[in-house]
Structure 1
Amino acid sequence: MNRRQMTFIILVNALVSLLIVLLVTWIVELRRPDPEELAALYTPAPAVLLAPTVTVPVETLPVVGGDAQATPDTGTTQAEGDETVYVVQAGDSLLGVAARFGVTIDDLVQTNNLANPDFVFSGQRLIIPATGQTASPNATTQPAAPGEPQIVAVESAGNLADEAVLIVNESDNPASLAGWRLEREGGPTYTFGNVQLFAGSSIRVYSTSGEDNTIALYWGQLDPVWRAGAVVRLLDGDGVEMMRQVIP
């Protein structure tokens, strides 16, 4: 083989090698994903944002008088204008507060602009009306036996349309008034039917006529039953006097 043939063979081999390299490179480029497509498919993980921590400065109230100590606001206090203010305690009800101060629930609702008479909360300040149409705490009263229903107030005495006797069961057990009697001493008598009082519930006996329901009973009298100085009595089914109260 002469030099010319050798040179030809070398050139052919070099050309074939170059073509193979170019072909392989082209195939690889065809199979490589487009960077823009990769960018579209890749969804970065959401960054975690840390909320700033708010530091509330604590103010220390000055102590008056060195040895002074904080006194919890409980019980009854006197507000401006000599109004009696009662601070509601845990377990209190509006009915219980009314009974305690000898006023009606309506008086408390109107005086304090209460939207819901069935709801009071611990710490709530209730203004107790200075005057009312209920029996005075100084009235001559024979208390009811513990755990028995009791007369809490005689409301609007002398006004047939509104006068009523409020009877409350302040015990923890239900009570039956079936056969019990409410009477004015020396006057008319009202006999209860099958009336049940749940623990903490109450009922009013109105002197006027009306339709009985779970919270109100109607006596059907034509004239007022109650007046100042009259004695209201509550007797059980056996005729035993359970409570009496003189209307002031």
Structure 2
Amino acid sequence: MNYVVQPGDTLNAIAARFGVPVQELIRVNNIPAPYYIYIGQTIFVPTRPPGQPLPPSTDVDRRLRRLEDRMNRAEQSIRDLDRRADRLEQRVTRLESRPRPRT
């Protein structure tokens, strides 16, 4: 579908409004860097059938996996620290419950 750029529009806003990736808008309209658009410009907005998800972005997917890996490692570290703290607390409790030698 064709869309006429309105005052205040940006490529990001148009992409979000129509649910298409910004890079797809840039590609299908052959917009050169620095990716300026102007008021009154007609740009083609590719549409997809209803219910069809956006294609995955490999860069976003890679970043998401990296963050999930970091989160999993952090959670494992927290569990390890919790176990160590529990063991230390048990040792302290045992030491405190021992009768003290008289001097």
User: TM-score when scaled to structure 1?
Assistant: 0.24
Whether the 8 Å contact between 1:109 and 1:117 is mirrored in structure 2 is no
Whether the 8 Å contact between 2:26 and 2:35 is mirrored in structure 1 is no
Q: 1:105 to 1:122 in 2, by over 3 A?
A: same
Q: Which residue in the other structure is 2:26 paired with?
A: 109
1:7-18 equivalence runs, <5 A:
none
Taking the aligned partners of 1:120 and 1:131, their CA distance within structure 2 comes to 23
Partner of residue 13 from structure 2, selected from 76, 87, 96:
96
- Give the 4+ runs in structure 1 shifted more than 6 A: none
Amino acid at match of 2:6: Q
Q: Which residue in the other structure is 2:61 paired with?
A: 207
Name the structure where strand makes up a greater proportion of residues: 1
Amino acid at match of 1:116: A
Q: Secondary structure at the match of 1:126?
A: strand
Taking the aligned partners of 1:86 and 1:97, their CA distance within structure 2 comes to 9
Measured against aligned partners, the alpha-carbon deviations of 1:52-88 in whole angstroms (never above 9, x if no partner) come to xxxxxxxxxxxxxxxxxxxxxxxxxxxxxxxx00000
Whether the 8 Å contact between 1:94 and 1:117 is mirrored in structure 2 is no
Amino acid at match of 2:41: Q
Rg larger in 1 or in 2? 1
Name the structure where helix makes up a greater proportion of residues: 2
Measured against aligned partners, the alpha-carbon deviations of 1:131-155 in whole angstroms (never above 9, x if no partner) come to 39xxx5x58xxxxxxxxxxxxxx75
Q: Which residue in the other structure is 1:50 paired with?
A: none
Measured against aligned partners, the alpha-carbon deviations of 1:169-203 in whole angstroms (never above 9, x if no partner) come to xxxxxxxxxxxxxxxxxxxxxxxxxxxxxxxxxxx
Q: Which residue in the other structure is 2:37 paired with?
A: 120
Taking the aligned partners of 2:18 and 2:54, their CA distance within structure 1 comes to 13
Whether the 8 Å contact between 2:5 and 2:37 is mirrored in structure 1 is yes
Q: Which runs of 5 or more structure 1 residues have no equivalent in the other structure?
A: 1-83, 140-153, 165-205, 209-217, 223-248
Give the deviation of 1:156 after TM superposition: 2.6
Q: Secondary structure at the match of 1:107?
A: helix
1:42-191 equivalence runs, <5 A:
84-116=1-33, 118-131=35-48, 155-157=54-56, 162=58
Give the deviation of 1:119 after TM superposition: 1.3
Give the deviation of 1:100 after TM superposition: 0.7
Give the deviation of 1:117 after TM superposition: 5.3
Taking the aligned partners of 1:117 and 1:156, their CA distance within structure 2 comes to 24
Whether the 8 Å contact between 1:86 and 1:128 is mirrored in structure 2 is yes
User: TM-score when scaled to structure 2?
Assistant: 0.53
How many correspondences in the alignment? 67
* Higher RCO (C-alpha under 8 Å, 6+ residues apart): 2
Q: Which residue in the other structure is 1:79 paired with?
A: none
Amino acid at match of 2:40: G
Q: Percent identity?
A: 30
